[in-house]
Structure 1
């Protein structure tokens, strides 16, 4: 090889080497090389790359913040719907439980009445059994009712009335006699716990009046409210008992219905007095009424 040819080869290698370095720099930094002037060879703008990396999170942040409220808005109604649905479902379940409890109580009462009347010797349980069905059919046939063995309203009312008439009610005492005797003690002062004409409380007064007529009642108002059969205000007859809620929940005051919307009772303020069911005080405290005299008739 000649000297001239050797120099040519060396120059060619140098040029190729320079091209390779430039290509390597482009591959490493891409478009970040902004100048190829000798005095700015160190101006590869890595900070610009860093700036770009800082901008991206900043741009992403508003998107994330915007997305969160939107997501929350979608979830909140769903949660609220679940909360709304839960009480409704619970209320329905409670209603079903109440219905079952009431029907069991009513059936248990019916079973007691069937025992009283001699149609069954089964122990009252509140559960419908074959023995109860058979007893109901027998009772229904005897009283010319549809003998399906089920405890419908007609059967229940007739059953309670027959038990009341034959075994549980007060016989032979007339309502007018009860009312006449009640009026006899007009003006007797009120005495808490009183059971004599020297001083009565409400239930002591009612018990004493019935005892005067050879009829027996329990001592306390809430006990008297369990006797007899339920009657509405429209069904009231003289001698029926009327109950009110006063100083205690439930039947805490009792009187004797006198007719024409009036009743006798021992009031704490005026003693034994004739009052009206229409008076604001008694009207708002009315609790219910019971028929304890068989002679007052079937409801």
Structure 2
């Protein structure tokens, strides 16, 4: 093959890529600007399927919309990272669609139709999701306590919480004193299954964490018990050391 023909094919391929990018950018611009306060486009199929690891104009559009509705609080940069996926899952749960973190036609359509007045459904989703997390956590009862452990072979307290929430697409900090600042505080009378409960045990400040499961009990990886166990919050040792409960938005 001659150099001229080879160069022509390369140039042609580059031109095709540029045309596709411009077309995608045009679709995204129409998606955002067509109707103030509400997206309007013919159907979800006009937007591409995107997922974690992608970087393009569609991701920028997605982040912009998720941020407008209060689901996304990071940089709008067109890069589909962990925090974008977390925001997508929160939106999908709120919208009552499959919460797989992948943005296909159903998620685009839900974004188009979303009114932003989802407080009631969000509350129901929080309660349902919290109970699911509590039930899932219970399946690890009896797993050995291992200092620094964050896997089903063995957990420490914060590693247990980190692992459970990560299974639901929520990336928490790894240690208890950082997890303490991740959610929003709830009153003791309003604690729901799935909420995190924090204690000051072997050192001042939030040094121990568990997950409230209902009926006045929390599940945690206990060094004293040597395993993942259930404990009444009314137990004097923990009652005296209780720091607060926090709800993680999902």
Using structure 2 for the length normalisation, give the TM-score. 0.50
Greater relative CO, 1 or 2 (CA 8 Å, sep 6+): 2
Between Structure 1 and Structure 2, the one with more helix by share is: 1
Using structure 1 for the length normalisation, give the TM-score. 0.42
